[in-house]
Amino acid sequence: MSETHIRPVPFRGGGFRPVAKRGVGLIVFVTLLALIEWGTRTGWISNLTLPQPSDVAMTLVDLARSGMLWTHLAPSLSRLAVGAVLGVSAGIGVGILIGLFSHVRAGLIPLVAALFPIPKIALLPLFVIWFGIDEASKYALIALGTFTPTVVATYGAVDNVDRTLIRMGQSFGLSWLSIVRKIVLPGALPGILSGMRVSIAIGIILLVAAEMLGAEFGIGAYILQAGALYDLERLFAGVVILSALGVLTSWVIGRLETRLLRWRT
C-alpha cells in the first residue's frame, strides 16, 4: 500500500535561460534570402520592391573585382575613422570632466541633453559654411554624431565607478591624479567601451548623411547615387556593406572588451 505512494519528486525547474545557437541564425538568414530569391525570380515579389539577392551578390562581386569597392570603401573608412576618433575622444574627455567636476557637470549636461535630439542632417547646410565641402565637414558631422552618445555613456560610466574603491584610494592617501588614473578610468572603461559600440554604429549611419555633401566616392555616396537612380541592386549592395561594417566594428569592440576587461567575471 505505502509502496504505491513512493514516487520521484516532480521536476519543475529549467527554462528561462535562452542560449544563442550560431547555426540557427545562419539558417534563418539563408532561408530568408532563399525566399526572397525565389519570390523575385517568380515575380511574386515585384522587382520594384526588392532586388534579387543573387543580383545584389553579383553587384558586390563586380564591385570587388573592378576595384571600385576599395575606391568607395577607403574614403568612407577614413571619414569614419577620423570622425569617430575625434568625436569619441572628445566625448570621453568631456564625459570624464562631467563625471569629476560639479561645475562642468552642471554647465554641460543640459547642453548635451539639448544637443542629443538634434538631427545632424538638418545641420548639413551649416556644416558647409562652417567646415567647407571637403573632408573637414564630413569629419565634423561624424564627430558630432559620435560625440554626444559618448559623453552620455562616459559620464554614466564614471558615475558608476564603485565609490568604495575611491574611498579606499583616499584612505591610503593616494593623490587625486592617482585616483583618477588608477581607479576612476579603469573602472569606467567597461561603460565607455559599451558606449563606443553605440557611438560607432551611429557613426556608420551618419556616413550616408556626411556623404550627401559633395562626396564623389564613398559608400554613402554610392548608396545615395543608387537611390537617386532607383538602382536597387546597387542600393542594397551598399546597404549590405554598411551593415557588414557595423557588425564588424561591433565584433572588434567585443574583442577589445574581452582583451581589456579580462578582469571582469
Partner 1 sequence: NTAINVGALRFTSHAASFVAFERGYFAEEGLDVNFRFFEAAQPMAVAIASGDADYAVTAISGGLISLAEKGAAKVIGGALSEEPGIDGQMILASNPAFEAGLTAPAMLDGKSFAVTQPGSSFHYMGAKIGAAESASLSYKPLQKVGAIIGAMKSGQVDAWTIVPHIGKALVGGGAVQQIGMVADYLPDYQVTTVFTSAANAAKERARTEAFLRAFSRGADDFNAALVDKIAGEDGADDMVKLIHKYVYADQPYEKASKSIVNGAMRLNKNASLNMGSVSDQVEWFKSEGLIKDSITTETLVDPSYAEMT
Partner 2 sequence: MELTLEKVTHRYGDMPVLQDIDLRIPTGEILCIVGPSGCGKSTLLRLIGGLERPDEGRVLQDGAPPPGCLNPLTYVFQDFALLPWRSVGGNVTLVLEDHRLDGDERAAIIDDVLARTNLSAFRNALPRQLSGGMKQRVAIARALAVNPAVMLLDEPLSALDAQTRELLMEDLVGLWARQPFTAVYVTHNLAEAVRLGHRVAVLSRRPGRLREMLEIDMPLDERGVGDARLDSVQQHLWHLMKDEAMAADQELLDV
Query: According to CB under 8 A, which residues from 31 to 70 bind partner 1?
Result: 47-48
Q: Length of the chain in residues, anyone?
A: 265
Q: What's 15-63 look like in SS3?
A: CCCCCCCHHHHHHHHHHHHHHHHHHHHHCCCCCCCCCCHHHHHHHHHHH
| Cα 236 to Cα 254: distance, rounded to the nearest angstrom | 26
Which of 63, 157, 202, 224: binder of partner 1 (CB under 8 A)?
224
Grid coordinates representing 95 are 564625459
User: Under the criterion CB under 8 A, does residue 105 sit at the interface with its own copies?
Assistant: yes
Closer Cβ to its own copies, 69 or 152, answer by number: 152
Residue 225 contact, options partner 2, partner 1, its own copies, none, Cβ 5-8 Å cut-off depending on partner type: partner 1
User: Under the criterion CB under 8 A, does residue 27 sit at the interface with its own copies?
Assistant: yes
Nearest-Å Rg of the Cα atoms of the chain is: 25
| Cα 265 to Cα 247: distance, rounded to the nearest angstrom | 25
User: Under the criterion CB under 8 A, does residue 181 sit at the interface with its own copies?
Assistant: no
List the Cα angle 153/154/158 in 5-degree steps.
Answer: 120
| Cα 82 to Cα 192: distance, rounded to the nearest angstrom | 19
Closer Cβ to its own copies, 1 or 228, answer by number: 228
Query: According to CB under 8 A, which residues from 184 to 213 bind partner 1?
Result: 212-213
Site for partner 2, rule CB under 8 A: 2, 5-14, 162, 164-165, 167-168, 170-175, 178, 182-183, 186-187, 261-265
Interface map 117-136 toward its own copies (x if CB under 8 A): xxxxxxxxxx--xx------
User: Under the criterion CB under 8 A, does residue 44 sit at the interface with its own copies?
Assistant: no
| Cα 96 to Cα 108: distance, rounded to the nearest angstrom | 12
Spatial contact of 68 and 221, defined as CB atoms under 8 Å apart: no
Closer Cβ to partner 2, 7 or 65, answer by number: 7
User: Under the criterion CB under 8 A, does residue 128 sit at the interface with partner 1?
Assistant: yes
Closer Cβ to partner 2, 22 or 262, answer by number: 262
At closest approach, how far in Å is the CB of 176 from its own copies? 8
Which of 19, 22, 228, 255: binder of partner 1 (CB under 8 A)?
228
Grid coordinates representing 177 are 591624479
List the Cα angle 175/153/188 in 5-degree steps.
Answer: 30
Which of 57, 189, 250, 257: binder of its own copies (CB under 8 A)?
250
Of residues 83, 46, 34, the one with CA closest to residue 199: 83
The phi, psi pair for 119, rounded to 5°, reads: -70, 125
Closer Cβ to partner 2, 48 or 177, answer by number: 177
At closest approach, how far in Å is the CB of 221 from partner 1? 7
At closest approach, how far in Å is the CB of 258 from its own copies? 17
The residues of the shown chain that bind partner 1, judged by CB under 8 A, are 47-48, 124-125, 128-129, 132-134, 212-216, 221, 224-225, 227-231
